[in-house]
Amino acid sequence: MQAQRDWEHGFSLVFSQLSGLTGGAESTKRTLSQMRGMFRDAEAVSAILRGGDPLIYEFYELGAPETPGDLAFGTSICYPGKVGDEYFMTKGHFHTLLDCAEVYHTLSGQGLLLMENPEGDVQSQVLRPGAAVYVPPRYAHRSVNTGTTPLVTFFVFRADAGHDYATIEPKGFRKLALERDGQLVLRDNPLWA
């Protein structure tokens, strides 16, 4: 249940830089079992799930009215960790209205924003505290936590843009964010070969 807000009047909210929390809001949570097919190492997924079902990420939405003139905003928190050698990440999505852009401003943590368009152009931008990343229209986007603390980002986009997760789900993004000798590397996703 989201806290009710009056979107016809101005309001002010304080987001926690470290946790993304806003007073009274409930987050939407994504655990590993809800993302089974999204990490490439199925054995590593199963091994982790035998010991529990870790929270991979969560996000706070504020229930903005889905009208063209409104802006939806909130925070996303991707936790540190890996599945095999693949960093914890969000599911990622296109906007249902493909032409709608988005901004991600990092409040804390370290990571990467992976982006790709339907034609296969791939881009990435580093997420670091203070940096605002512009996701252009038509680009799917996914946050990857490459650090050791929660990656907390503030996002804002056109409120009626919608989320299309289904296009990403069968094959994932074209690039995988992996750790090699303690460093982030991007590798081609074999499902796109």
Residues that bind Ni ion (CB under 5 A): 102
Is 136 within 8 Å of 101 (Cβ atoms)? yes
50: which 2 tokens?
Answer: 């035998």
CB of 60 to Ni ion, least distance (A): 14
Q: Is 179 exposed, middle or buried (0-12, 13-18, 19+ CB in 10 A)?
A: middle
Nearest approach, Cβ of residue 135 and Ni ion (Å): 7
Neighbours of 139 (CB within 10 A): 21
**Kind of pairing between the strands at 102-108 and 132-135:** antiparallel
CB of 75 to Ni ion, least distance (A): 13
Q: How far is the CB of 85 from Ni ion (least distance, A)?
A: 26
Cα–Cα distance, 54 to 51 (Å, whole number): 9
**Shortest distance in whole angstroms from residue 167 CB to Ni ion:** 13
In angstroms, rounded to a whole number, what is the distance separating the alpha carbons of residues 185 and 140?
19
> Contact, 45 vs 24, CB < 8 A?
no
Residue at token pair 């032409």: 99
The residue of the chain with the least Cβ separation from Ni ion equals: 102
Amino acid making up residue 156: V
